[in-house]
Amino acid sequence: MKVEYLNPFLDASRSVIQELGLGRATVGKIEIAPNPHGSGGLLSMIGITGRLTGRVLYDMNESTAINIAGVMMGETLPELTQMARSAIGEFTNMISGNAATILKERGFAVDITPPTVITGGQMTLTDFGEMNVTLVVPLILNKGVVTVNLAIKEAHKHGG
């Protein structure tokens, strides 16, 4: 997987995080993993289609999800409510949508799917099809860590 696919997600993350009043995000140690493990808190999965294909998974523990959703909702949340889960889904949708815009500007026309938010339990993120390399990128916020798991590649070119 090329690093040029990752940078739009990092740029979009920093921009969205700041715009939402979540402060500044720094990037932790980037790793490559065949089957990364979810933190057991909340996962939001978004598919990438078009010139590039694959998926991006945003992984965070429950307390980070509660903190981020609380800022977005303008209230202190005692727990991860349905509305908070929806807020986190929208948070990841905004990052992915903004990343898709940057990718398009750099010559990679992609579309994104609506987010699927999953909560609870330790999960192993078994990859799909030919996608066997995932870039694991921790985004360190003052509200906690959001780990971006990115696995995308150029779509097969069909003749004609």
Closer CB to another protein, 10 or 36, in the complex? 10
CB of 32 to another protein, least distance (A): 27
Closer CB to another protein, 36 or 65, in the complex? 65
CA distances for 76 relative to 8, 45, 118, angstroms = 31, 25, 22
Residue 135 CA to residue 149 CA, distance in Å, equals 6
CB of 54 to another protein, least distance (A): 16
Closer CB to another protein, 113 or 142, in the complex? 113
The token pair at 153 is 């590649």
CB of 101 to another protein, least distance (A): 4
- Which stretches of the chain bind another protein, using CB under 8 A? 16, 19-20, 69, 72-73, 82-83, 86-87, 89-90, 93-98, 100-101, 104-105, 109, 111-114
CB of 132 to another protein, least distance (A): 27
Q: Which residues neighbour 138 within 8 Å (Cβ) at sequence distance 6 or greater? A: 27, 28, 29, 145, 146, 147, 148
Residue 7 CA to residue 143 CA, distance in Å, equals 22
